[in-house]
Amino acid sequence: MSDQAILLEIRDRITKMERYLYNDEDTGNDGIVKAHEKLNRRVSQLEEQEKIRKTKATTWGVIGGVAISAIYKIVEFFLK
């Protein structure tokens, strides 16, 4: 193979690799970089939702604890 043919082969292979890394205009498929960005956004959203869920559960737990304590104190007061 001549040097020119080798360079063309290398360029073609690099182009194919770039199609995997970046968006492939020919097929419309997302590349690895874009897919990674989408996954990072989704994981961040899921982590945020989990934080919100835990915060709500803690808040309701505190409210429930205060309500039960108040009811207990009222019942205890009237039973004495």
Query: Beta-carbon neighbour count of residue 34 at 10 Å?
Result: 13
**5, amino acid identity:** A
DSSP 54-69: HHHHHHHHHHHHHHHH
Residue 75: both structure tokens together:
């019942």
Residue 9: both structure tokens together:
């082969």
- Alpha carbon 12 to its chain centroid, in Å, reads 35
Q: Give the model confidence (pLDDT) of 5-26 as tens digits.
A: 999 999 999 988 888 888 777 7
Q: How confident is the model at residue 72 (pLDDT cuts 50, 70, 90)?
A: very high
